[in-house]
Amino acid sequence: MCYICMIRKMNVFFSKMLKRIVIFYSTLFLGVFYSNGQDLLSNSPSENPGAEVLYRKEKHGGILIHSNGWGGFYRTGNHITGKTKRYFEIEAVSMRHPKEVKTVNPYYENTKSYVYGKLNSLTVCRAGLGIQRKMYGKDGIKGIEVRYHHFLGASFGMAKPVYLEIGYPTIPYQYIRTERYDPAKHYTDNIYGRAPMLRGIEKLRPYPGLYTKFGFAFDYAGAFNAVKGIEVGTILDIYPQAIPLMANTKNNNYFLNFYLSIFIGNKEY
């Protein structure tokens, strides 16, 4: 809850900053308007093609890397005002436990690596609404447009049990069998390697929750109807109960991550 309060305080701070920026540029605009005797918004298409167009809709998507995994996302949005947009986003990312460490069976070559103690692999799917506000605009098609945003929505954790290939009876193994990982009977001396990735998909268990996101976007697209840039920020996923990712260690009901994303898209009338 403290994180959400922090977002609200930052939102108020940046809203005040935005108002000051708007007043500054409005004053500057009026000064140039009266000194030059012309409206800056009346540039001809030949001089500044696309500048007279207000693109009301925007779509973009990209890849996302965060503190404990990676994934992809897609957004669609529209202008509420000249500097404010409302977005709907969907994304899917992998989520690791901070204490995950990959290892291999030292007695056999060409075995698949596995994470000792890992109970479930987790994929997080998010769907939410957000507001994005422009802090600094571009100088025509040059420069970088800086925005900040915050999102709130549903977070669905999808936990799939980990299956391993287990050797019997002892080293050297006489046969190998695929089993769901059980910390009470599976140890480094009888784990041959990880099982195929889709094994156990039928036992997928959902963990519904909520997420909130705050970040900054830097758009450096070289065309008025294009969107291209990078984004940085934080994401917090919260669930009613802890998700069992690892054995013999603490599992939390929340995941706080820093993220970096690259996006590309286009604008429409």
Dihedrals phi, psi of 252, to nearest 5 degrees: -100, 165
Report the distance separating Cα 9 and Cα 77, nearest Å. Answer: 24
* pLDDT tens string 93-134: 999 999 999 999 999 988 999 999 999 999 999 999 999 999
Amino acid 243: pLDDT: 97
Q: Are residues 108 and 149 in the same domain?
A: yes
Q: Are residues 20 and 134 in the same domain?
A: no
Residues 132 and 254 in one domain: yes
181 assigned to some structural domain? no
Q: What is the pLDDT of residue 137?
A: 86
120 with 204, same domain: the answer is: yes
What confidence tens digit (pLDDT) does each residue in 194-210 have?
Answer: 999 999 999 999 999 99
With 70 as the cut, is the pLDDT of residue 35 above it?
no
How many structural domains are present in the chain? 2
- Confidence grade of residue 49 (pLDDT, cut at 50, 70, 90): very low
- The closest alpha carbon to 125, from 146, 153, 102, 148, belongs to 153
Q: Which among 259, 227, 240 has a CA at the least distance from the CA of 95? A: 259
Taking 60 as the threshold, does the pLDDT of residue 33 lie above it? no
What would the mean pLDDT of 39-68 be, rounded to a whole number? 67
- Structural domain including 116 reads 56-162+200-268
At residue 53, the pLDDT reads: 62
Give the pLDDT confidence of 218-269 residue by residue, as tens digits: 999 988 899 999 999 999 999 999 999 999 999 999 999 999 999 999 998 8
Residue written as token pair 């009901």: 253
Give CA 28 to chain center in angstroms.
37
Question: pLDDT tens digits for 128-174?
Answer: 999 999 999 887 777 899 999 999 999 999 999 999 999 999 899 99
What's residue 20's pLDDT?
52
Same domain, 3 and 100: no
- Supply the pTM of this predicted model: 0.78
The backbone torsions φ and ψ at residue 154, rounded to the nearest 5 degrees and listed phi first, read -90, 140
- Same domain for 60 and 1, yes or no, is no
C-alpha distances (whole Å) from 177 to each of 106, 163, 167, 169 are 18, 10, 6, 11
pLDDT at 14 over 60: no
**Do both 135 and 211 map to the same domain?**
yes
Residues 6+ apart with CB under 8 A from 87: 75, 76, 77, 129, 130, 131, 132, 149, 151
- Burial class from Cβ neighbours inside 10 Å (0-12, 13-18, 19+) for residue 150 reads buried
The token pair that represents 88 in the structure block = 């709907």
- What's the pLDDT score for residue 27? 46
**Does some domain include residue 261?**
yes
The reply to whether 49 falls in a domain is no
111 with 222, same domain? yes
Is the pLDDT score of 36 beyond 80?
Answer: no
**Residue 223's domain is classified under what CATH number?**
2.40.160.20
Confidence at residue 16, expressed as pLDDT on a 0 to 100 scale:
53
Identify the pLDDT of residue 138: 82
Buried residues in 158-194 as b, exposed as e (16+ CB within 10 A): bbbbbbbbbbeeeeebeeeeeeebeeeebeeebbbbb
Range 46-77 burial, b when 16+ CB lie within 10 A, else e:
eeeeeeeeeeeebebbbebebebbebebebbb
